[in-house]
Structure 1
């Protein structure tokens, strides 16, 4: 059974006891990401994530790594657009070590100037590495342009110029505003006693003062765009995007099924048609991005420059064919079983359960259970799916991004094909 309880300061603890395993997965979820940043501090959330591992008042960066390694535990973190998570996975008898290390990192981080200067170099190298990954660039490029001048358009890594300007005072001031109980969910799944771990978490995090969270900006004006980036690489990387729904929408399961049918796997229409039958591209897939206030359904492909126009034409043809001919009950049922199978198998992993509960509580203030998700998938019917597909696939609202050697492709011809 999933249990939810709050500390006196408002911090939320979510726990699910599982006696059939011998480990515990814990994540500290914080409602903070690039959407909470302004132009002058873009990238600060990701920078803070790095600094949390650089040492505390009583532990060095090496101590953090060594203490977790000594008990065979894993520790890591990530930063997204709307939230970030610091997480650990240990054997059940080493939970106290994981909690002590993670809480120390978040509550007592040293944030030394000398460590900041070193980490600026590390993050700049991360930005350089990102620049060598055109697949990542094309995804970010379309988001930055389609949500230009709105919070969702912020780049998670920031820029080299902004990163170099951060001071320890900037970091502490930002954390003081955002690392507050109202913005934190601690999610724990595995072998433990909930009352016991709740008291342990309370003993660590009760020192946090109950503060009012900074209101999150909700502006997300989608702007249709056609954006290119010249890069001296062999392939052209393509992203085609359609504005879609938010994470909390009741159509989230319809979106998941539509995405799976279109390009969500090796049996999807795009993969089978464009790669297997036509041989136009090695990599092609679709993916849905859902945030608290907006979303996108995207198609990605990478192909030889001479093939990029046929890839775009074939993709548009597949989407139009889906809209014109519809989806058969047999195909829908097959996709439902596929999604339910992935969901059930995924939930057998303690980290997956921890992540699902933490994100759900943080973003929706309630838990989406496995049974609820399965019921949501089962409830999708052909009529509802086709109505939704016609709403999403509005070609007058489609955006396009291209990364590659621009001299090798006919930009105006592509604009003409996409009518943009």
Structure 2
């Protein structure tokens, strides 16, 4: 059972006790991501994520790494467009150490100027690596096309130019504004006990910072096209369409639709473009849902002279579906696949911790697996057809072609 406790300072602790597991996963979720950044701050949320690993008042960066290596644990973090997560997974008897190290990083990172300058170089290499990988870069280009005037369209990593401008004080000011108790959720799952939960409350439940004013500007989807030329063996294409927000009642219908379009090996696009015609090794679709909007995207990688054919096949397939070419069997199979993915994904402490933390942070409530299965089973063919009319409009298109 998932339990949520709100500390005196407003920080929430969400826990799920799983007695038959021998591991514990704990995550610190902060409700700030790249879309909270001002234009001159682009990339600062991700940069802070890196800097929290660079040493505290008691531990060097090497000490932090060594502590987890010597206990066989995992410590990592990631930044998204709407939140940041620092997480650890360890054997149950090492959980108190994992919580203590996470708290030390969260509160006591020294933000040494020398380390900040070194980490700028690391993140620049990360940016270069993404740009070198055309199948990643094409997605970044798509977001710029879809939302050219909104922070959600900007890259999570930022740019080399914005990184060079970040001062230590600017970094600390950003954390002061966003790393606040009401903006933070601690999620823990696995073989846990009351002593561990008390430790979390002791370490995280008393700090005070003014609550942020997270006033997101609603993004407006813009159809358009971007073509980028670079040295690459393949051409890469992404098509983006308006999707649904996390709060939308039709979200599970869109998940069913996405599976049919390109979310699995039996999907329309995988079968037609890869299996039947041999035009691509990788072709798929996915839906990204956020607090106030979402995006349905389709990707394909193919030979440069075939990119027009692949785009036409994607558009034609979607149009056929829009005109009603969806069978009841496809709906049934897609629902079953979603249910299988849901239940199989809950068979680890890490996935449960992550799911609970995101639900608490972004929804403020929790749904059981049975509740979600009921919502998936409620999706009918007419729901999916209605969504096709809503989502399959004029797309945004991003293409990377060989020089």
TM-score by length of 2: 0.98
Q: 1:147 maps to what in 2?
A: 147
1:270 match: 269
Query: Could you tell which deviates more after superposition, 380-389 or 216-225?
Result: 216-225
Match of 2:257 in 1: 258
CA RMSD after TM alignment: 1.1
Aligned pairs (5 A) from 1:214-253: 214-253=213-252
For 1:37, the equivalent position in structure 2 comes to 37
TM-superposition CA deviations, 1:94-118 (whole Å, max 9, x none): 1110001000000000100010111
Which residue does 1:91 correspond to in 2?
91
Please give the alpha-carbon distance, in whole angstroms, between the structure 1 residues aligned to 2:234 and 2:126.
Answer: 22
Q: 2: CA distance between counterparts of 1:381 and 1:310?
A: 32
How far apart are residue 234 of structure 1 and its match?
1.8
Matched, 1:380 2:379: yes
Per-residue CA distance 1:357-408 (angstroms, 9 max, x = gap): 10111011111322222111111011111111121112xx2111101236xx
SS at match of 1:343: helix
Aligned residues: 403
Looking at structure 1, the residues matched to 19 and 317 of structure 2 have their Cα atoms a distance apart, in angstroms, of 48
- 1:300 has 2:299 as partner: yes
Matching residue of 1:8: 8
SS of alignment partner, residue 67 of structure 1 = helix
Partners of 2:197 and 2:217 in 1: how far apart? 33
SS of aligned partner of 1:388 = helix
Rounded Cα–Cα distance in structure 2 between residues aligned with 1:221 and 1:312: 24
User: Is it true that 1:399 corresponds to 2:396 in the alignment?
Assistant: yes
Is residue 359 of structure 1 aligned with residue 358 of structure 2? yes
Kindly report structure 1 stretches of 4+ aligned residues shifted beyond 3 Å. none
The aligned counterpart of 2:349 is 350
Tell me the secondary structure at the aligned position of residue 200 of structure 1. helix
Work out the CA distance in 1 between the residues paired with 2:339 and 2:142: 31
Residue 186 (structure 1) aligns with: 186
Does the alignment pair 1:60 with 2:60?
Answer: yes
Aligned counterparts of 1:358 and 1:365: Cα–Cα separation in 2: 10
Query: 5+ residue gaps in structure 1?
Result: 407-420
Q: Secondary structure at the match of 2:28?
A: strand
Partners of 2:8 and 2:206 within 8 A in 1: no
Q: Any stretches of 5+ residues in structure 2 without a counterpart? A: none
Q: Find out whether 1:331 has 2:335 as its counterpart.
A: no
Tell me the equivalent position of 2:370: 371
Give 1:207 shift: 3.5
Per-residue deviation at 1:192?
1.1
Q: Secondary structure at the match of 1:234?
A: coil
Which residue number corresponds to residue 17 of structure 2?
A: 17
